[in-house]
Structure 1
Amino acid sequence: MTCPLLYRFRVIDRIPEPPTTATARGTLVHAVLERLFDRPAGERTPAAALDMLVPEWERLAEADAGLAELFSDDSERARFVAEAAAALDGYFTLEDPRRLEPAQREWYVEAELDSGLRLRGYIDRLDMTKAGDIRIVDYKTGRVPREAYEASALFQMKFYALVIWRLQGVIPRMLQLMYLSDGEVLRYSPDEADLRATQRKVEALWQAIERARVSGDWRPRPSRLCDWCRHKALCPEFGGTLPPLPASAAAVAAHGSAASAAAVSGG
């Protein structure tokens, strides 16, 4: 939705995108909050979360060399850990994890629509009441979106709600985006009309992707977000030269597409 050419770079070309401090901070905070719920309820305190930060970072950096190379000295790493700690402080102003027992954490979900389109993604947290009411929770370490961009932020959550509905036949009662650094929560209660509209939008997006895949035409869509794009050097909008399509994608563009397994991921 943001930019067809960016989709091509990421999904078709699969051009690596090294982590940034912002994405690394999100990864670290998510990891701490996921593992915090491994502890007994009474131990899920702000102090315990802070104690987990450095060990979790070391575990993540050991598994990903890109993360390990982000910082040139200890002072940079210390500043990064302090920013992650501030996000965790924000989390504890929003809820008390000692009173929660999530049904799922970092839960991989996948469902197939009648059209054959597969939807899949990872849900940060799923809470469920004894009555069976479902709440989908997503942690954000970025800034709260302005009102004009709330719908875009909620699309990811409606996507997850659609997957749950198709998977379990139950419409989630609440979608909750937790903006930890700002200490704010964006909540939304979807209904069947919302999720049917989301399904139509997802299927229309997939049709657009299929058309671009067959034609080989992945047009850039310039916006303010271009300032944060990692691929500006390759984008014609900024004087770049497109790399050739990978051989498999080029063959599709030249000869048309046969019926293929189709999947869309929530992110």
Structure 2
Amino acid sequence: MDGVEVLGAISPSRAGDFLACPLLYRFRTIDRLPEPPSPDAVRGTVVHKVLEDLFDVPAADRTPERAGDMLVPAWEALLEAEPGLAEMFGAEGPDLAAWLASCRTVLDRYFDLEDPRRLEPAERELYVEALLESKLLLRGFVDRVDVAPDGRIRVVDYKGLAIDTPLPTPTGWTTMAEVEVGDQLIGSDGRPTTVTLKSSVHDRPCYRVTFRDGSSVVADNVHLWRVTVTRRQEQTEQIMDTEGLLSELTALRDQGRPSSMWVTAAHALELTDRIDLPIPPWLLGAWLGDGDCRAGSLTVGRDDVHDMTVLVKDNWHGSARVREDSSAHRITPGKRPDQCTYGHDEFKPPTSGHPSRRCASESRHADQTQSNLSLTGLLRREGLLHHKHIPLRYLRSGTHQRIELLRGLMDTDGWWNKVRRRAGFTTTDDRLAAGVVELLHTLGINPCHFQKPYVNAVRDDRIWHVIEFTPTWFNPFSLPRKANACRGATTPLQHALASRRVIASVARVPSVPTQCVSVDAADAMYLCGTGFIPTHNTGKAPAEGYEAKALFQMRFYALVLWRLRGVVPSVLQLIYLGNGEILRYEPDEDDLRATERKVEAVWRAIRLAHESGDWRPSPSRLCDWCSFHQYCPTKGGTVPPLPEAVPPAADASVDESSD
């Protein structure tokens, strides 16, 4: 711009800084304070470089494998130019191999969005600048410019967006760290849903979201939740991030309505019946509730002995011996007397006049599995004797099988509270209590789990677990005495309240590494935590403020190209490599004129701040990512004095860096 009067120059990044926080603009542009490199930002730089260089190779070679081969050289070239970047991978930083793997994941995601073999960009990393009539110079770097044969222009920009959180799956459990794209989780509708995307590891402010039933999940500040909020008999469903939950909950508490925000409970898991359950589910539940831990027998009260005997025989293929004990009865399921241990019903003929119980197919036993066992034998084979717990295969069995398992538990150690109209289960076995809570969650039931000391003069002191819940869509009892008391006792209002996972608190906790996934469920929801909490895809779409800033940057570039070439770009395309989404916007001249007015207004505000010295901070959620906490008064820091030789306002905003 030699010989042309220029009052000032600005890039979209610096304009965005001032719009976000004038003090941030001052720290970066005037004070030029150093900022430590961030793994996320450097990942973006490396991936950008690979995508830029990828178009230098022949079209047929633009494959994920070729891009992957270019990754390490791009990183090594950047490291050679900036050796200080190696400090990111110290004792407190990420593992270099894992970080490079995350770069590869982002690159692979690009190929799901575009096929670079079918593209020939007109420009890459294009430096552009244009002087407005106001003598303000706009400049910056555009990632990519595509020009169609008819002259239409497309501006393309690449954007990038507690790993030990347990995640229930159709076959058991995984963690956020272990789950991979293509794995199956469980959606809020109870059906298996496939992971389609997974983010890199983030280091962000974290919060523990605790629900009224005691369940909790640690999530970062931008994790999304689908919640319902009640105000004056009106309910609104909203999607908000974790910090939004905290703000909303604080406001509701100030209004005296701390229970007015909740997550809707998930549906029962829709899983197919299993044929590999060695013990009928009801009988296993009954033994877990009131069985002898040393043998396969059940202790039954005198009033229930007849009905329980009928239930045992309905659920057992063998014999059932009933004998009276000192104060109760014992029912012992045994083998079928007409079969051998391996299930054969033919025996060898008697010899010497004595009956024989030797199987006629004895020679085949070595290659077979014993199938005609007593309940004691099955429990021993499954490792349940002296070790009561609900095996995982039962917790992920078919819906009816899980209901029968629960009914066995409830018919023995369960009870019905006719005053509160709630069902309950008690045990002093920690592992069994956890299994019952998980079983209820798999059936779409939201239990309340209480614990209190259990003091006994004979046995060691233990913890007494009390698990209560409201039956909503099935009767949790088979025993007639209990089933009749429960039948029809709950109301529609109770059912509605039971479906709410009320948020009790949102509290800041020390930051931990976090990740997020996207699933292919229609409502973008999946279950997380041991409490089966429904949560939303994080990164499904960029946050509204982030998206607005990105679009401003794109309009900025479109304005520069319009002023340079006289053609309004037909499409602005944001490719979010972090979550695999493409956002397209079609600008017109009115949009770009409005953008020009906005940029000029920003520049006037910058000049005014420079003249007055008023670089006031603008606190927001973005503050948590700022590198200048030690200098910011909102974080308890001290603003440094301006440099002795402050450049004139016309030069203060000049930004030599690329965007």
TM-score where L is the length of structure 1: 0.92
Deviations 1:143-182 (A, max 9, x none): 5413465322200000000000111111000000000121
Please name the residue that 2:591 is paired with.
194
Alignment of 1:69-218 (within 5 A): 69-72=87-90, 76-142=95-161, 143=539, 144-147=541-544, 149-218=546-615
Aligned residues: 260
Once the two structures are TM-superposed, the CA of residue 18 in structure 1 deviates from its matched residue by: 2.0
SS in structure 2 at match of 1:119? strand
In the aligned structure 1, how far is the partner of 2:106 from the partner of 2:563? Answer: 33
Aligned counterparts of 2:35 and 2:97: Cα–Cα separation in 1: 24
CA offset at residue 197 of structure 1? 0.2
Question: In structure 1, the residue corresponding to 2:50 is in which secondary structure?
Answer: helix
Return the offset for 1:229. Answer: 0.4
1:237 Cα offset (Å): 1.0
Deviations 1:181-210 (A, max 9, x none): 211001000000000000000000000000
Return the alpha-carbon distance in structure 1 between the equivalents of residues 581 and 637 of structure 2: 39
> 2: distance between equivalents of 1:131 and 1:101?
15
Deviation readout 1:226-254 (Å, 9 max, x if unpaired):
000000110111121110101232x86xx
Partner of 1:42: 60
- 8 Å Cα contact 2:29-2:653 kept in structure 1: no
1:262 CA displacement: 7.8
Moved more, 217-226 or 151-160: 151-160
Answering whether residue 49 of structure 2 is matched by residue 31 of structure 1, we say yes
Distance 1:261 1:13, change over 3 A: closer
Code of the residue aligned with 1:225 in structure 2: it is: L
User: 1:70 is paired with a residue of what secondary structure?
Assistant: helix
Q: Give the 5 Å matches for 1:231-246.
A: 231-246=628-643
Report if the CA contact (8 A) 2:30-2:652 is conserved: no
Measure, in 1, the Cα distance between the counterparts of 2:76 and 2:633.
Answer: 39
> Whole-Å Cα distance in 2 between the matches of residues 264 and 196 of structure 1?
22
- Structure 2 unaligned residues grouped into runs of 5+: 1-18, 162-538
- Give the structure with the larger strand fraction: 2
Instruction: Note the alpha carbon deviations across 1:112-157, whole angstroms, 9 max, x for none.
Output: 0000000000000000011111000000121541346532220000
Q: Which runs of 5+ in 1 are unaligned?
A: none
Q: 1:32–1:56: 8 Å Cα contact kept in structure 2?
A: yes
Change (3 A) 1:235 1:261: closer
Structure possessing the higher radius of gyration over alpha carbons: 2
**Residue aligned with 1:109, SS:** strand
- Secondary structure at 1:121's aligned position in 2? strand
Question: 1:52 corresponds to which residue?
Answer: 70
CA distance in 2, matches of 1:125, 1:13: 31
Q: Partners of 2:573 and 2:653 in 1: how far apart?
A: 25
Structure 1 residue 17: Cα displacement: 1.1
Query: Distance between the aligned counterparts of 1:11 and 1:130, measured in 2?
Result: 40
The answer (yes or no) to whether the contact 2:559–2:592 under 8 Å persists in 1 is yes
Distance 1:16 1:244 in 2: 16
The residue type paired with residue 125 of structure 1 is: R
Give the letter aligned to residue 240 of structure 1: G
Give 2:80's match in structure 1, choosing from 53, 57, 62.
62
Cα distance in 1 between the residues matched to 2:35 and 2:546:
25
Taking the aligned partners of 1:174 and 1:208, their CA distance within structure 2 comes to 30
CA distance in 1, matches of 2:87, 2:72: 16
Q: Distance in 2 between matches of 1:182 and 1:246?
A: 41
The structure richer in helix per residue is 1
- SS of equivalent to 1:247: coil
Distance 1:147 1:214, change over 3 A: closer
User: Which deviates the most, 71-80 or 10-19?
Assistant: 71-80
1:8/1:121 CA distance change after superposition, 3 Å: same
Among the aligned pairs, what percent are the same residue?
61
Please, which moves more after superposition, 37-46 or 72-81?
72-81
Q: Is the 8 A contact 2:570 2:587 kept in 1?
A: yes
Q: How large is the Cα RMSD of the aligned pairs?
A: 1.9
- TM (normalized to structure 2)? 0.38
Counterpart of 1:218 in structure 2: which amino acid? W
